[in-house]
Amino acid sequence: MAENKPAGGEPKRPETPPELPGLGWRYIVWVIAISAFMYYYWSTTTDSGLHQSIAYSEFKARVRADAVTKVTLQGERVIGTYRAGAVPAQGNQTRSSTTFTTTLPPVNDPELIPLLEQHHVEIDNKPTEAPWWLQAIMALIPWLFFIALFFFISRRVSERFAQGGGLFGFSKSKARLYRKGTMQLSFDDVAGLDNAKADLREITAYLKSPERYRKLGAKIPRGILLMGPPGTGKTLLARAMAGEADVPFFSISGSEFVEMFVGVGAARVRDMFIDAKKSAPAIIFIDEIDSVGRARGTGLGGGHDEREQTLNQILNEMDGFSAHEAVVVLAATNRPDVLDPALLRPGRFDRKVVLDLPDKKARLAILKIHSREVPLAADVDLERLASLTVGFSGADLENLVNEAALLTGREEKSQVDMNTLMAARDKVVLGARRENVISEAEKKVIAYHESGHAVVASLLPHADPLDKVTIIPRGRALGATEQIPEEEHYNLQQSYLRDRIGVLLGGRTAERLVFGEVSSGAEDDLKQATRLAQHMITHWGMSERLGPVAFRRGEEHIFLGREMAQARDFSEHTAQIIDDEIRKLVKEVEQEVIQLLTAHRTQLDALATALLEKETLGASEIRQLVSG
Ligand code: ADP
Ligand code: MG
Ligand code: ZN
């Protein structure tokens, strides 16, 4: 059996609508200007209203009187020019003209040409009418103008509503199609994420030769879900896959489905799947699927009917794949917790690929990728920078390098040095430096607050080592105490978590010890400490009283209302105990911190004094002050 594929029958949706030439405002102005000019030109060469009209006999009389220097013959019309000084005064015409027109008699006058020659009148000939091409253009101009205007407006409209289709293309899928070679990215541009890359390679391999896998009875995943915190490279990885895959790659963002009229999202899904099936084997990528894939029935996020329809359509389409249709759906989200469970069922997005924040090795690789085009000074140690950026996502690291390049440019240096990179790191972590005026009294409170964090962090055995303390306000913070773990933590010990709460409470406790009262500056510390304690008790079974039980509190679902009530799976009584246990844990830790700081008051004072003087203290300075 011969394979029968019509040539050019593949659906193709270019990334941008085809350019219609001459459809900007500038072009319309040109069309108007040119038509106005042509009209003027044509009318001045044919117009008779400007000339004095005289009888034919009079014309001949004037020629005989040598009063005419030039005539232009245009069909039966004659336009003549009087000799200077020979312009006759005309009784009934106020306007004295140097030109005149007259009309030739219907029968040819054999006398005329010899007469003109005899009196040395210059003779010129003009075609009767505007030339045909000019006439054609003149006739077309209004039409061209309207057509141009129509396209211009329709393009404006469709630009706002859809990238594809024209004025009437609203329901067309807006998926961008990448064919092999159109996407420059490859997996080499993605650092780390080796597991994820391996998974995706497997899929590409399957799409290349589906038969081989089918013979082995292997079921190929229909859907792959990329999950991970923002900025970990989900979109990047998908784009790299488009570059690697040998098959058409349809890409759309979840939010694009839900953009407009009700019902359009579902239609777009259908169109996109139809397109993909026609060009199978193919890959469909739905970015930020949580914007359509949120659990149904929550009534959240606005326009939920539309969203539910769209989601249902996705589910239908994925179920509708027949076994021989090699279409794989790739999706990405940073909120897997809010996804509708139906999406995660077998036969749909049953393969999950988790993208973690990069570890040190991956951070180094990411820094290398993004500093490829940045001239680095000799003192730059990317390895050290990588170890000082625990918790940074790929996007943060990219941002760091860019901030450093911007800073370097501002200082008019030609190379990015290590100091600048470190300054950029602080900016990414803490926000831009603020230049607000803080009174001495306030400064003192802030200095003690930060010193409290720092002393506790230095003295508690399980706390992460200190990197620096500063009372320079940045972003929203008035000061900062930075700790940098030596290694990434993958598993958190109870002792470590308790000490972390201790460090968080250190600031507030120091204020209370020194000034006898607390300030509002500890809001964030308290929030973090409470959240940590909550997690320890409800998720990690770290309360003796409650025992090794995990509770589902509503807090993963940030929305209130129905879902919250559904999410809590314990009794009112247990809720009471949980609250008590959280409070008890935090208070216990607070007691330890109070004792610690009271016993080390001298160190606290020394650190605060040094901070007031220098504003920023590094790790070694802090160590010295605390130990001696
Ligand atoms: P997500 O979609 O997961 O929120 P993106 O893929 O949009 O994140 O990543 C944002 C940017 O961060 C990317 O454009 C890329 O420049 C950078 N980035 C993130 N992760 C990596 C990585 N592993 N390797 C290289 N660059 C990365
Ligand atoms: Mg993304
Ligand atoms: Zn604090």
Q: Cα(139)–Cα(302) distance, rounded to whole angstroms?
A: 52
Check: CATH 3.30.750.24 for 440-627?
Answer: no
143 versus 256: the higher-pLDDT residue is 143
List residues bridging with 333 in a β-sheet.
227
* Residue of 187, 188, 194, 236 best suited for mutating to test ligand 1, as the one with most atoms within 8 Å of CB: 236
With CA atoms as reference, report the closest residue to 258 among 249, 267, 250.
Answer: 267
Evaluate: CB of 398 within 6 angstroms of ligand 1.
yes
Portion of the chain with pLDDT greater than 90, in percent: 17
The letter for the amino acid at 535 is H
Helix (H, G, I), strand (E, B) or coil at 349: coil
- CA–centroid distance, 524 to ligand 3, in Å, is 7
* Residue with CA closest to ligand 1 atom 5: 233
Nearest ligand by distance to the CA of 236: 1
Give the distance (Å) from ligand 3 centre to CA of residue 399. Answer: 26
Amino acid identity, residue 18? P
Report whether residue 521 contacts ligand 1, using a CB cutoff of 6 Å: no
For residues 589 and 456, give the distance between their C-alpha atoms in angstroms, rounded to a whole number.
11
Q: Tell me how far the alpha carbon of residue 330 lies from the centroid of ligand 1, in angstroms.
A: 17
Q: Ligand 1 within 6 A of 230 CB? A: yes
Query: Which ligand is located closest to the Cα atom of residue 361?
Result: 1
Place of tokens 């989200």: 333
Any ligand 1 atom below 6 A from CB of 239: no
Termini Cα distance of the chain: 88
3-state SS, residue 157: helix
Q: Of the residues 189, 232, 364, which should be mutated to test ligand 1's pocket, given the most ligand atoms within 8 Å of the CB?
A: 232
**Ligand 3: centre distance to CA 448 (Å):** 10
CA-only gyration radius of the chain, Å: 40
What is d(CA 240, CA 244) in angstroms, rounded to the nearest whole number? 6
> Of all atoms in ligand 1, which is nearest to the CA of residue 239?
6
CATH T-level topology, domain 176-354 = Rossmann fold (3.40.50)
189 C-alpha to ligand 1 centroid (Å): 10
Q: What DSSP line would sit under 526-551, residue for residue?
A: HHHHHHHHHHHHHTS---TTT-S---
Cα–Cα dist 381/219, whole Å: 47
Please give all residues whose CB falls under 5 A of ion ligand 2, grouped by chain where several chains appear.
235
pLDDT band with cut points at 50, 70 and 90 for residue 248: confident
* Ligand 2 centre distance from Cα of residue 255 (Å): 12
Q: pLDDT of 200-247, one tens digit each?
A: 888 888 887 777 877 887 777 788 889 888 888 888 888 888 777 777
Extract the tokens encoding 197.
Answer: 């890359």
Residue 104: strand, helix, or coil:
coil
Q: Which of 309-313, 357-361, 624-628 has the lowest mean pLDDT?
A: 309-313
CATH top-level class of 51-128: alpha beta
State the pLDDT at residue 180: 63
Question: 191 by DSSP, 3-state: which?
Answer: coil
Q: Tell me which residue has tokens 């000084």.
A: 85
Cβ of 236 below 6 Å from ligand 1? yes
Gap between the Cα atoms of 329 and 344, Å rounded: 12
16 in Cβ contact with 163 (< 8 Å) = yes
Q: Is 185 in the pocket of ligand 1 (CB under 6 A)?
A: no
**How does pLDDT run across 443-480, given as a tens digit for each residue?**
899 999 999 999 999 999 988 888 889 888 776 677 88
Which pLDDT value is given to residue 130? 66
Query: Is the CB–ligand 1 distance for residue 13 below 6 Å?
Result: no
Which residue's CA is minimally distant from atom 15 of ligand 1? 395
Where do we find the tokens 């180094």? 364
Give the pairing type, strands 480-483 and 351-354.
unpaired
Q: Is residue 619 predicted with pLDDT exceeding 80?
A: yes
Instruction: Write the secondary structure of 427-454 as one string of H (helix), E (strand) and C (coil).
Output: HHHHCCECCCCCCHHHHHHHHHHHHHHH
* Helices within 303-417 (DSSP H only): 304-319, 360-370, 382-387, 394-410
Q: What is the mean pLDDT of residues 333-348?
A: 80
Q: Is the full-model pTM beyond 0.85? A: no
> Of the candidates 163, 177, 167, 183, which has an alpha carbon nearest to the alpha carbon of residue 17?
163
Q: Locate 219 and state its tokens.
A: 């079921």
Q: Of ligand 1's atoms, which has the minimum distance to the CA of residue 230?
A: 4
β-strands 77-82, 68-74 pairing: antiparallel
- Separation of 528 CA from ligand 1 center, angstroms? 27
- Active site residues per annotation: 450
Ligand that comes closest to the CA of residue 286: 2
Please say if the pLDDT value at position 431 is more than 60. Answer: yes
CB 27 within 8 A of CB 145: no
Name the nearest CA neighbour of 452 among 412, 506, 519.
Answer: 506
**Closest residue by Cα to residue 55 from 1, 13, 103:** 103
Residue 5: the pLDDT is: 33
- Structure tokens, 550: 């995990």
CA dist., res. 542 & res. 492, Å (int) = 12
The pair of structure tokens assigned to 150 is 């129509």
The verdict on the CB of residue 210 being under 6 Å from ligand 1 is: no
Distance 467 CA to ligand 3 centre (A): 15
575 pLDDT more than 70: yes
Whole-number Å distance between alpha carbons of 60 and 290:
92
Each residue of 101-111: pLDDT tens digit? 888 887 778 88
Q: Is 233 in the pocket of ligand 1 (CB under 6 A)?
A: yes
CB atoms within 10 A of CB 584: 14
In ligand 1, the atom with minimum distance to the C-alpha of 238 is: 6
Which tokens go with 399? 């941002």
Give the pLDDT band (50/70/90) at residue 16.
Answer: very low
3-state helix, strand, coil in the chain (%, to 5): 50, 10, 40
| Amino acid, res. 39 | Y
Is the CATH code 3.30.2290.10 the one for domain 360-430?
no
330 CA from centroid of ligand 2 (Å): 13
Length of the chain: 628
Q: Which atom of ligand 1 is nearest to the CA of 288?
A: 2
Q: Would you say the CB of residue 375 lies under 6 angstroms from ligand 1?
A: no
Cβ atoms < 10 Å from Cβ of 432: 11
Does any ligand 1 atom lie closer than 6 A to the CB of residue 254?
no
Closest atom of ligand 1 to CA, residue 395: 12
Is the minimum distance from the CB of 333 to ligand 1 under 6 angstroms? Answer: no
Domain boundaries, the chain: 51-128, 176-354, 360-430, 440-627
